[in-house]
Structures are given as structure tokens and as C-alpha cells.
Structure 1
Amino acid sequence: MADGMLSQEEIDALTKGITPDAPQTSTPNITNTDAAVAADGKPSNAAPPLTEIEKDTLGEIGNISMGSAATTLSLLLGHKVSITTPNVTMDTMADIKTHYPIPYLIVGVSYTTGIIGNNILAIQARDAAVIADLMMGGNGTNVSDELDEIRQSAVSEAMNQMMGSVSTSLSQVFDKKIDISPPKVHIVDMATADEVTDFWTQTEPVIRISFKMEVEGIIDSEIMQILPVDVSRELVRGLTESAKKSAEQSTLPQPEPAVQPESTPAPAPAAAAVSPSPSSAPAQQTAPTYQVHTQPGNSQNIVSNVPVQPAQFTPLTVGPPATVNNANIGLLLNVPLDITVELGSAKKSIKDILDLSSGSIIELDKLAGEPVDVLVNGKLLAKGEVVVIDENFGVRITDIASPLEVTRSL
């Protein structure tokens, strides 16, 4: 201050509550991105940690959904698949990359109806190659770790049906319709990839639910389901509300029976004196009479002089357990089935069909010499080649259709 006048710097210091003589410390320029990430690489503004109840609920949801997914995968592979022991943790994608630095098959799925959010399923690339080999008719051994386009398509179909069964299970549990978008499948090397998925950033907190997956002595590995925190808590809230709704419905009071109004019993008419004859005595037996009493102030009637007999039950006998008869395939041997051999097919417009005449040629979708399809009741069963037997055409079976081919034909 000079000559009783305050300088601009002194005015600014007073308005900020700082005395001019006090030492000023510089405040670092912290951006939102810098504040969001702490020194250890984890988000400092992360969502609150999961409670034990939330973890247990997510584990239960995972058990239900992955149980149906295991059933679907068992049908596709022709081998028993078990997915058990969920472990729920809160991580970031950077942490997941650090702990699992191997190639993974990432299946990205978005919830579109009932639940809004993203969800990915991560399976080791080696396990995905085994699944693709089993779907294509192999035995799952001596499999290359590399997935070509055909094998990726096979695994994509398996993951699509698995996630479809998961959404169906969630719809039944939450009692509302839940739909998902078609899955996007790609291979990611966790050790070298900069980004695992475009759904979330590296430092955004996510919920990782890991399961143990076994395929009948062929695969003994781990599969992961990764969800954002808001979707996870929405799942917990949905299951809690569904359970509460079911409990309320089960405890609703039952409707009470209608109470009849009080009525004064009419006096019984005097019985006429009749002297029964011996011949008519059995026919003139009167029904037993009951007395009905109404207590004052009580609308319920009390019936007395009612004949009561103890209940009689058939005595229980302890014997050898009944043998269960196995299904007799002989009962089905005489059921007729329609076998059709399809040389090929073509799609034509109505105009092309109307232009057909005697001598017209229709080009089919199969090449010359390609095996024909053998259909049983319209379902693909096998492939074969056309032969001639005693001037009649026949088909020699060359290959039984794999589960993947049957699925594509459907």
C-alpha cells in the first residue's frame, strides 16, 4: 500500500481472504482426467465398492444365467459342459489386462430391452479353438491356437446362442422382457493390446464375474463376464424387486368366506303320529336330525349331534423300490419317417416362375459333384453321393452332419 491507496494485487488478495504479507502457494492445474486417476493407475473417483449382499446377488444371477448357457453349449458340442463357482470382484480393464496377459476371445453384447448397458464375455483363445473344433465334428485335441474365419464363425454362433439363453433366463427371473443385440466377436491379446473393448476406458471401474468352465475332460479353464457397475447394480435391484414381489404375492391374505347373516331358526313342525306297519318300517326310516344353535352376538352357527367317524387310511407297506423301466427304443422302431434327398435349391421371383416352360433350365446353388443333402422329416441328417442300384437311384452316406451344420440349416 502506497500513499493510502491499495494496489490491484492487494485488492485481489483481500477478496480471496489472503493477507498481502502471507506467503502464497501455487495451486496445481488439475484437470478432470488427472483427478480421476490416482498415482497407482486406479480411478480415485471410483464407484463405491460392492457390498457382500451385492456380491452374493451377482453370483446368484451368474449361476442362473451361466447354468442355462452351459446347457446350450452342451447341446452344441455334444459334451457335458459345467460352468460353476462364480467369483465377483471390482476391477478396471487395465487390471484385467495385467492379470490375464494371454489371447482372449472377446464377445461384446449390448442389452437393448429391459436392461440398458453393455456386457462382454471373455474366453481364452485356446478354449475357443477347442469349442470350434468340437462344433465342426472334431475331438477337441491337437487344436491350433489360431482361429481362422470359419472357426471364428462357429464360436460366434455358439456365443450367440449362449448369450441368447442368458437373456431368456434373466427375463424369467426378473419377470420382464430382456433383449440383447447380436454379439461382436474378436480376438484380443491382453499383453499387447492397447484397448480391450470400446465399451469402457482402461480406468473405468467394472465388475468381473469369473467362472470355472469344464468340458468333459477336454477343457478345464476360466470364463469371465465383465459388466459396468451401473448395469451390475441394476441387475441386483431387479432381482431384489422380483424376490420382494414374489414374497408379497405369497403372503397376501386369503379371502375370508362369506358370513351368513344371523337368522332365527324356524320352529320344527310337530311330527304327525303315524303308526308304521311292519312291512313299511324300513321305507319310513327318517334321516338323522341335527340341531343348529346360534350364540348371541356371534354370526357363526354351531352344529351339534353330527355323527363323526375317524378317518381311515390305507396302511403303508414297506417293500422293495419299484424298478424303473428304461426307455424301450423298440416302441419307436415302427414310426415312419420321410427321407428326402435334396440335390440343391434356388430362389426365383414370381416372374421367373411364370416364365418357366418345358425345357427350361434352373440353376441350383450346388456345384457339380458336390454331396447332396439327406433330410429326415425336413431336418438335415447327413450328406452323400448319388449312386445307381439296379436302374434305381440311391444315396451312399459319406458324412453325418455336424451340430454346426444342423444349426445353420435351421
Structure 2
Amino acid sequence: MQEEIDALLSLNQDAAGTSAGELAGAAFASGSPGPEPLSDKEADALGEIGNISMGSAATSLSEILNQKVTITSPRVRIGLVGELFESLVDPYVLIVVRYTEGLQGYSLLLIKSNDMAVVSDLMMGGDGQNPPARLGELELSAGAEAMNQMMGAAATAMANIFGRKVLIKPPEVIVLNEGERSAPAELGLEQAVGIVSFRLTIGELLDSEFFLVKGIETVKEEVALLWHAVTPEVKKALEPEVRKERKAPSPPVKPAEYELPATAAMAFERPALPAGVDQRKLDLILDIPLKVTVVLGRTRRSIKDILALGPGNIVELATLADEPVEVLVNGTLVARGEVVVVNENFGVQITSIITPQERLQHLGSKS
């Protein structure tokens, strides 16, 4: 989380060392003339925009699939449309997203057919463990609806980042069967594109990779909008406050064990803003989702005791019945509270906020 914020706030600084932009340019440094590479800052910005928008897309996909979905590890490079499609080894599904307002151009998603089959199976009420071997019309329709929800959430995230409305047409789904490697004619085989690869996991069912592809002009437009939103004044105001951020949006996935459900997400008082800071521009950080976990207690048991566990056994925790529970955000202790019931869901009523000194003491006690 801290790394994402630091990266987002440093987009207007000169890059040091070997960056994603340099790596992208190196790919076309020899041979026949290729597409003009993005600058270091533009490549970094493309990765951050993709990271935030796909984070929102993962949240949406988690809700409709009822599975934990993560989209992480963006890697940026530059390529030609034709070269990208020719490099595909497995059968893929191409999702074409065209912008109607807020941005020019298009975005493409390239996801493996087997991965789309898992999504389709979950959308149709299956468990995802026996996906269809071939994507028929019904499976494609279910998968297209999932992609529609996913890319709609991504467009909303970009709207929050850029401070303008971003609208898309319903995505077009094209199956690229084995041996079919031709890009849609409208894209042009020699067209330069920015390519961001992501790691995609869906519960225990899937651990794969997919590609987000954007035209160079679309990338440059998005980067210009981002730089306009993240001004030096905002950066200066946010840097001393970033570790004091108190707002924790709803967890991205419906919790399985002790994580707070969406209806019981905690919300802390927002710090007062420095004079001259635009609240709208702050929202691009405040909307980043955080994982909130509640710890009822801990205990230690021998391997023998663990192996002997069975239905009906009670595991006694080293916590008294009236002791407050711990509230962790991204694994860091931030507060304590009492367990309550909200609309038939468990929740936590915050009773105290952990100070930096207490947090250091807590870390020391665990080591």
C-alpha cells in the first residue's frame, strides 16, 4: 500500500536507474524501426493507472464470482499489435473496450480461454473446478457479463483518478482459437501499443496472467490527465500525512473468517486538510481499497494437539472474554474494539486507536 502511494506521488519526479520505460525502449533499440517508446515517467504512470483501475476491477469480480480475486504485479512494455498477437501461445479471448466519453481510443484485455472458462463456470453457478472445455455461446455470454462489470469498475476508478466522467461501450468479446492470431483489422498490425501484464488469481482455482493493451495516444492522454490531477501542491500536502491516513474503505472481498464484512467496514475521522488542497484530488488515494481483519485472539498448540483436532473440539484462546479485539489494516494493528452485530453480520465498534508508540511496542512483542 505504501509503495503504491509513493509511486503515485512521485510520477512528476525524474526516474532514477533502470525503469519500466527504459526496458520498454530497449526492446526496440535494434533492428527495424519500431514504435516510439514511452518515457520513463509515462511507462511508470501507465503501470500505476493500470494497478489502481485493475484493483477496482478485481473488487467487482470478487463480488460477482463470490471468490477472492487479486490482480497484481503490473509489468509495462511497448510493442506492435501484430507482434503481440503473433506471440500468443495458448488460445485467448480478446475483450475490446471502446471509450465513449472522457477518453479517446480503446483498451484491450487478453485473457486465456481456459481462464475465461473458469470465470464463465462461476458466473453460471458452478464451482469453477470443472470448467467447460470449449467456450460456447452461453459461456461467452456469461464471461462477457463478468468482463462488462469488471471494466465498468475500472472505468469508474479512472474517473476518480482523472476527475472526469469516463464511459465505455459494452465490451466486445472475440475468441482467438488455436492458430487464429490475427488482430481485429481496425487496430492495425503495425500500430504501437502499451502493454501491461498482470498476475490474476481467483481463489484456489486460478493463478494466471492476462494483458491490458492500450493505444499509445490513449496512454499519453491518461498520463496527461494523471499528472494534471497529482499536482506538486497535493504531493506536498500528502507526504507528511500519508502514514496518518485513517479512512479504510470496505474490504475488496467478502471475508471468509474474521475479516469485516462490507456492511461493517470501519471509517475513521478524516484529518483536516491543509489550506488550498483540493479534496477531489485527494480522493484518488482515499479510494484505494485496504484489507481489514479482526483478530479475536491467539494461542499456541503442539503439533500433536493440532493433529488431534476434530468436530466438537474447543480451541481456547489466550484472550479474556471481555478483552477488546484487534483490528488490523493490511496486517498492521491500527485499533481495538468490541464485537457487535450489524444487520445480522458481525462487526467491530472501535474503542481505541493505536498510537505509533503502541504500534512499535506491538511489533516488539511479536518479534
TM-score, structure 1 normalization: 0.51
Q: Out of 38, 45, 54, which is 1:57 matched to?
A: 45
Q: Out of 243, 247, 250, which is 2:230 matched to?
A: 243
3-state SS in 2 of match to 1:86: strand
Deviations 1:264-285 (A, max 9, x none): xxxxxxxxxxxxxxxxxxxxxx
C-alpha separation between the residues in 2 aligned to 1:332 and 1:229? Answer: 49
Shift of residue 254 of structure 1?
5.4
Deviations 1:338-379 (A, max 9, x none): xxxxxxxxxxxxxxxxxxxxxxxxxxxxxxxxxxxxxxxxxx
C-alpha separation between the residues in 1 aligned to 2:274 and 2:197? Answer: 42
Whether the 8 Å CA contact 2:86–2:182 is kept in 1: the answer is: no
1:211 aligns with 2:198: yes
1:325 matched to which residue of 2? 338
1:192 aligns with 2:179: yes
C-alpha separation between the residues in 1 aligned to 2:275 and 2:90? Answer: 59
Amino acid at match of 1:328: V
Structure 1's 43 and 132: CA in aligned 2 closer, same or farther, altered over 3 A? farther
Q: Which runs of 5+ in 1 are unaligned?
A: 1-39, 256-319, 334-410
Amino acid at match of 2:341: N
What is the number of equivalent residue pairs in this alignment? 227
Whether the 8 Å CA contact 2:324–2:338 is kept in 1: the answer is: no
C-alpha separation between the residues in 2 aligned to 1:246 and 1:177? Answer: 23
Shift of residue 53 of structure 1?
1.5
1:79 aligns with 2:67: yes
Q: Out of 132, 135, 158, which is 2:146 matched to?
A: 158
2:104 matched to which residue of 1? 116
3-state SS in 1 of match to 2:204: coil
C-alpha separation between the residues in 1 aligned to 2:275 and 2:114? Answer: 57
C-alpha separation between the residues in 2 aligned to 1:253 and 1:165? Answer: 30
Shift of residue 105 of structure 1?
1.0
C-alpha separation between the residues in 2 aligned to 1:149 and 1:87? Answer: 32
1:386 matched to which residue of 2? none
Structure 1's 248 and 89: CA in aligned 2 closer, same or farther, altered over 3 A? closer
C-alpha separation between the residues in 2 aligned to 1:180 and 1:160? Answer: 9
After superposition, the CA RMSD in angstroms is 2.9
C-alpha separation between the residues in 1 aligned to 2:192 and 2:179? Answer: 21
2:80 matched to which residue of 1? 92
Shift of residue 246 of structure 1?
6.0
Structure 1's 187 and 249: CA in aligned 2 closer, same or farther, altered over 3 A? same
What are the within-5 Å matches in structure 2 for residues 322-361 of structure 1? 322-323=324-325, 324-328=337-341, 332=344
Q: Out of 159, 172, 175, which is 2:160 matched to?
A: 172
Whether the 8 Å CA contact 1:65–1:166 is kept in 2: the answer is: yes
3-state SS in 1 of match to 2:128: coil
Structure 1's 328 and 99: CA in aligned 2 closer, same or farther, altered over 3 A? same
C-alpha separation between the residues in 2 aligned to 1:240 and 1:322? Answer: 44
Shift of residue 192 of structure 1?
2.1
C-alpha separation between the residues in 2 aligned to 1:76 and 1:207? Answer: 29
Shift of residue 117 of structure 1?
0.3
1:201 matched to which residue of 2? 188
C-alpha separation between the residues in 1 aligned to 2:42 and 2:338? Answer: 46
Structure 1's 321 and 98: CA in aligned 2 closer, same or farther, altered over 3 A? farther
Higher relative contact order (CA 8 A, sep 6+): 2
Structure 1's 77 and 246: CA in aligned 2 closer, same or farther, altered over 3 A? farther
3-state SS in 2 of match to 1:328: strand
C-alpha separation between the residues in 2 aligned to 1:246 and 1:155? Answer: 43
C-alpha separation between the residues in 1 aligned to 2:192 and 2:100? Answer: 22
Shift of residue 205 of structure 1?
1.4
Whether the 8 Å CA contact 2:35–2:78 is kept in 1: the answer is: no
Structure 1's 242 and 186: CA in aligned 2 closer, same or farther, altered over 3 A? same
3-state SS in 2 of match to 1:144: coil
Deviations 1:112-139 (A, max 9, x none): 1111101111111000001111111111
Shift of residue 54 of structure 1?
1.4
C-alpha separation between the residues in 2 aligned to 1:97 and 1:79? Answer: 30
Whether the 8 Å CA contact 2:47–2:76 is kept in 1: the answer is: yes
3-state SS in 1 of match to 2:108: strand
Larger Rg: 1
TM-score, structure 2 normalization: 0.57
1:220 aligns with 2:222: no
Structure 1's 76 and 94: CA in aligned 2 closer, same or farther, altered over 3 A? same
The percentage of counterpart residues that share the same residue type is 34
Whether the 8 Å CA contact 2:85–2:182 is kept in 1: the answer is: no
C-alpha separation between the residues in 2 aligned to 1:67 and 1:254? Answer: 31
2:93 matched to which residue of 1? 105
